[in-house]
Amino acid sequence: MKARILSVGTFVPDTVLTNKEIETFLDTSDEWITTRTGIKERRIVDKEHPMSASEMGARASRIAMERAGVSSGDIDGIIVATFTPDNFFPSTACSMQADLGCKNAFAFDLSAACAGFTYALTVANNMIVSGQARTMLVVGSEVISKTLDWSDRGSCILFGDGAGAMVLAADEKNQQKGILSSCLFSDGTLGDLLTLPAWGENRVLKMKGNEVFKHAVRFMADLSLQAIDKAGLDVKDIDIIVPHQANIRIISALAEQLSVPMDKVAVNLQKYGNTSSASIPLAFEEAWLDGRIKDGSKVLFVGVGGGFSIGSAVCVF
Ligand code: UT7
Clarify whether 114 is annotated catalytic: yes
Give the separation between CA 144 and CA 124, rounded to whole angstroms.
24
Catalytic residue among 19, 94, 244, 247: 244
Check: CB of residue 83 under 8 Å from CB of residue 111: yes
Strands 240-243 and 77-81: unpaired
Q: How far is the CA of 220 from the centre of ligand 1 (A)?
A: 20
Q: Which atom of ligand 1 is nearest to the CA of 113?
A: 1
Going along 190-254, which residue ranges are E strands?
Answer: 194-195, 206-207, 240-243
pLDDT-flagged residues of the chain (< 50): none
36, 252, 282: residue to mutate for ligand 1 pocket, most atoms within 8 A of CB: 36
Can you give the pLDDT at residue 101? 98
CA of residue 176 to ligand 1 center, whole Å:
43
Nearest ligand 1 atom to the CA of 274 is 1
The radius of gyration of the chain from alpha carbons, rounded to an integer in Å, stands at 18
275 within 8 A of 282, measured Cβ to Cβ: yes
Question: Catalytic: which of 19, 125, 247, 274?
Answer: 274
pLDDT for 201 = 87
Q: If you measure from the C-alpha of residue 215 to the centroid of ligand 1, how many angstroms do you get, rounded to a whole number?
A: 15
The C-alpha angle 85, 89, 91, rounded to 5 degrees, equals 55
Give the integer Cα–Cα distance in Å for 316 and 300: 9
Q: How far apart are CA 269 and CA 275, in angstroms?
A: 9
Position in ligand 1 atom list of the atom nearest CA 37: 15
Residue 176: per-residue pLDDT: 85
Q: Is 49 a catalytic residue?
A: no
Q: Which of 213, 220, 249, 275 gets mutated to test ligand 1 (max ligand atoms within 8 A of its CB)?
A: 213
Q: Which of 19, 94, 102, 114 is catalytic?
A: 114
Predicted local distance difference test score (pLDDT) of residue 175: 80
How much is the pLDDT for 143?
98
Q: Whose CA is nearest to atom 38 of ligand 1?
A: 154
- Ligand 1 binding site (Cβ under 6 Å of any ligand atom): 28, 32-33, 36-37, 114, 153-154, 157, 194, 207, 209-210, 212-213, 216, 244, 246-247, 250, 274, 305
Q: Determine whether 113 is exposed, middle or buried from the number of CB atoms within 10 Å of its CB (0-12, 13-18, 19+).
A: buried
Taking CA atoms only, the protein residue closest to ligand 1 atom 9 is: 209
Q: Is 174 a catalytic residue?
A: no
DSSP state of 265: B
